[in-house]
Structure 1
Amino acid sequence: VYSLKLSNKDTCGQINEFLSFFSLDEFVHLHSLTLIQVKENSLQKLKSILHLIPQLHSFHLLDSNDIQLTYPLPSNLQILTIPILSSFNQLSSITNLTISGCSIDQLLNHLFKYAPMLTYLNIQYLSSYYSTITNYSNVNFTKAVHLKELVVSNFQYKLEDFKCLVKYIPKLITLKFTGTYDLDMIDANQWESLITSSLSCLETFKFIFNYIYKPNDNHMEDRFNQFQTDFWIKQHQWYTEYSLSNHSALIYTVPYMLNSYKLDIDSNRYSNQLINTLNNVKNLTLYRAAIRETWEHCFSNVISLTILPPEYAHRPSLGTQAIRLLQPIVNLSNLQHLNISSKFKIKDSHALLRILQGLPKLSSLTISVRALEQFAYDEELCEYLNKMIKKLDIYKYHSSSFKFHHQIEDFCKIFSNIEELKCNIVPKDYLLFLLQHLPKLSILKAYLWKINDHDYFYSWFKKQTNKLNLLFHMNYIDKYETELVVWINRNIN
């Protein structure tokens, strides 16, 4: 085994389950280890053995809630992903580092000093929230002379702060910025001056700058057009396009580099490009009112689509026309997940069936359970849902997915092939009914209303399911709602 990926995401303690059977030091040839949503108690088992895996050169700790690594790492480790920068100093071999959150002073005062061979740095949140000092402009910090690529998803400082940072990254070749920023970050002249004076090695500059309008904001189009000068176009071939709406503005280098895109109701796109710049978009959110007969956008590779109603509309109707208007701008043949807002009123069962039939690869659906109930009489629609949908989300806060027993009985007949389900449960006995009557269900996320005694419910559910091959855990959401996540192993009788 050269690569190992262990995840607690939707699997209720699978990492602990795995570690109860195996010790990581048994995998002497392991090169890469990834842990997703790991708990502190699982990490305790790794502390004494992680540095004993001799060939491990890649370690990723993902979605793990600011867990700090304070124990020895393998001496040959080169690629590391961690939530936050800890105080440990064993970074001398690291060349590739991804961090969920840190501050500029942590980079200058710690990381660049203890990770001198760093060539790639990716930061999700670069913010003063993580800061330990406030003035870093007059300190003699170590330069990251080998750092070639910097990626920042949310830069929560001013441009002046970034100017201080780049003084210590003299050989930067690639810079990527994304996020929502104030106007000082969206200043082409300031960026041109900074790049010319401090980033002379820069070859690739990619960015997505989103701006939320403040009162009396004007001239955004003029500001964006400053990115069309010879410095950007002729000297560097850094092409941009932008879109403007009544409340926000967006400018980005092409092609658009993120996999998610939100198309506002009133947005207008300004582009002179002849190429399709939105091929990277996999997850698209749009408003029904934004779907027009003519549109400048083209999304070729979308796999997840969310359709929202205008905020001002009350129970607007959704029918086959929406899909017909989508066809010129979205390649629906690749779509795997469809999210229809519960605020829509679907015209009739025929309309819903035609919408779904227009999406040949669809297997995942988010929809109001009430919309499904009112069309339960349509046998053709029910047969289609039974055959095609493997993952279903009918959750709605402060609600009950099944108010009467006949509703849950009908549901289990229609969705007998469902593998993943997210729903609301009020009578706790309905939990057992779902587990017993959905034979292919492997992941259940049930949101329970007003569980007054969590310990009692935990004991009750464990006792009722002790003959089933499942794992579960409970998460307290708020004083009204508790999340129960159940993973069922259907491969073992």
Structure 2
Amino acid sequence: MFIVRFQNVIPHNPIRYLKLIGIHTEALISFLTVVLPELIHLVSLSLMDATYYPYRCRSIKYVNDQLPSLTHISLSFRQQPSYISWVLTQLYSTFSTIQYLSLHDFSYAITRLPDLFQHLYKIEHLEIKLDIDDDIGCWDPWILDSELIRNGGQHLRSLVIQIESYLLFIEIASLLIHFPQLKSLSLVTHDITHDVEFYNGEKWEELIQTALPCLSSFRLYLKSEKISSEISSTFIVNRFRSPFWIKEKKWYVICDKFTNEFIQLYTIPCPKNVTITLNITSSNWDTTLPSFNSSTFDSVTRLIVNTTELQHNLTSLLYFNNVKSLRILSLPTKNYCLSQHINLLQVESAIDSRWISSS
């Protein structure tokens, strides 16, 4: 029925934009091998699989036909790595025209990037979550030096990276030096990063000045539990106070350090779709921002409130005007109102974990 429906539609209505959500594995196989090669007018393809489907490993014919108009592909799968690898393999022949590629909800091994880039010739924007195999990550850093990446990524202008826990700064740096033409970089930790070098503004400054001379947009979000209790948020922020950050680039950071040694560091504007935790207490908060206004935190759309103590001279300046998703872990118990710091009219989803914990 799936195949018949598409085959009846295609001759009468050339499809240019297509999004398939929650497609079953067997239907996906049919789509990739029978329907997709016929979509010669297709410009954008989005495959979103929100549900885990077991599948049978089997050999099938690959998509051998190029789609001359296809420039955008977005994939979002929560499946085992072998399934993801299989889907990508089916699509490799279409990658030669791709300018925009977004890979969500699954990790791609940094060691396999040469395999990906050898199929990319015109890529301008890439979104990807990177990981490293356990048997490799426990040894020396994996340093990339690949002509396949350099050639395939020569048109790359915008890069959005999520990194898994055990990737090192030196490994990400070895990837970035392949893209001297890069204009926009966003880097986010998927969970907790273990390498404190990501928090070193001097390291970032050196990398950007020497390897990324065209970079005009830099967004960063990091969180960690492994930073020494002797390292304060001010110590971290001070490494982002050089003239390069403040005067030349005007890239500003905020750093929060929590009582359990959890720490978050992010730029303003922050990367898209990250969750910021509001925790303004005593001296655990610092920033390079020279001033605040009502739109300073407009890039923050997801917020966790987890604070029992507010420092009034700081929090009176903070206002989140564009929060869509709100989660409350703890609040000051005396004379506190959320609307002091959050435009509640913009909130679309809210969870009060205090009530959930007590129920």
TM-score by length of 1: 0.57
Letter in 2 for 1:268: W
- Quote the offset at 1:23 in angstroms: 1.9
Rounded Cα–Cα distance in structure 2 between residues aligned with 1:70 and 1:269: 56
**Aligned counterpart, 2:80:** none
Rounded Cα–Cα distance in structure 1 between residues aligned with 2:351 and 2:61: 41
**Aligned counterpart, 2:321:** 300
- Structure 1, residues 431-487: CA drift from partner, whole Å, max 9, x if none? xxxxxxxxxxxxxxxxxxxxxxxxxxxxxxxxxxxxxxxxxxxxxxxxxxxxxxxxx
Q: Which of 256, 261, 273 in structure 1 is aligned with 2:291?
A: 273
**Aligned counterpart, 2:15:** 30
Per the alignment, do residues 230 and 209 of structure 1 end up closer, same or farther by CA in structure 2, a change over 3 Å counting?
Answer: same
8 Å CA contact retained: 2:187, 2:271: no
8 Å CA contact retained: 1:166, 1:198: yes
Name the SS for the 1:51 alignment partner: helix
Rounded Cα–Cα distance in structure 1 between residues aligned with 2:69 and 2:135: 29
**Aligned counterpart, 1:114:** 119
Unaligned 5+ residue runs, structure 2?
A: 78-83
Letter in 1 for 2:38: L
Name the SS for the 1:38 alignment partner: coil
Name the SS for the 1:115 alignment partner: coil
Name the SS for the 1:23 alignment partner: helix
Q: Which of 50, 60, 68 in structure 1 is aligned with 2:36?
A: 50
- Which structure has the bigger radius of gyration? 1
8 Å CA contact retained: 2:142, 2:171: no
Superposed, which structure 2 residues align to 1:344-383 within 5 Å? Answer: none
Name the SS for the 2:337 alignment partner: helix
- Quote the offset at 1:71 in angstroms: 3.8
With 222-231 and 293-302 compared, the bigger mean Cα shift is at 293-302
8 Å CA contact retained: 1:32, 1:59: yes
Per the alignment, do residues 219 and 174 of structure 1 end up closer, same or farther by CA in structure 2, a change over 3 Å counting?
Answer: same
- Quote the offset at 1:292 in angstroms: 7.5
Name the SS for the 2:172 alignment partner: helix
Name the SS for the 1:46 alignment partner: helix
8 Å CA contact retained: 2:3, 2:35: no
Q: Are 2:104 and 1:105 aligned?
A: no
Q: Are 2:344 and 1:332 aligned?
A: yes
Rounded Cα–Cα distance in structure 1 between residues aligned with 2:122 and 2:343: 44
Q: CA RMSD in A?
A: 3.4
Q: Are 2:202 and 1:189 aligned?
A: yes
With 94-103 and 240-249 compared, the bigger mean Cα shift is at 240-249
Rounded Cα–Cα distance in structure 1 between residues aligned with 2:38 and 2:4: 18
Unaligned 5+ residue runs, structure 1?
A: 1-15, 311-315, 346-367, 369-493
Rounded Cα–Cα distance in structure 1 between residues aligned with 2:14 and 2:233: 55
- Quote the offset at 1:282 in angstroms: 2.8
Letter in 2 for 1:263: L
Name the SS for the 1:274 alignment partner: coil
What percent identity do the matched residue pairs reach? 22
8 Å CA contact retained: 1:25, 1:52: no
Letter in 2 for 1:228: R
Per the alignment, do residues 136 and 265 of structure 1 end up closer, same or farther by CA in structure 2, a change over 3 Å counting?
Answer: closer
**Aligned counterpart, 1:258:** 272
**Aligned counterpart, 1:160:** 170
- Structure 1, residues 142-179: CA drift from partner, whole Å, max 9, x if none? 41211111111225521211232123223111111111
Letter in 2 for 1:76: S
Q: Are 2:162 and 1:141 aligned?
A: no
Q: Which of 69, 81, 94 in structure 1 is aligned with 2:74?
A: 81
- Quote the offset at 1:202 in angstroms: 1.6
Q: Which of 250, 254, 257 in structure 2 is aligned with 1:237?
A: 250
- Quote the offset at 1:338 in angstroms: 3.1
**Aligned counterpart, 2:99:** 95
- Quote the offset at 1:236 in angstroms: 1.6
Name the SS for the 1:306 alignment partner: strand
8 Å CA contact retained: 2:145, 2:174: no
Name the SS for the 1:55 alignment partner: coil
Higher relative contact order (CA 8 A, sep 6+): 2
With 203-212 and 113-122 compared, the bigger mean Cα shift is at 203-212
Letter in 1 for 2:47: L
Superposed, which structure 2 residues align to 1:373-412 within 5 Å? Answer: none
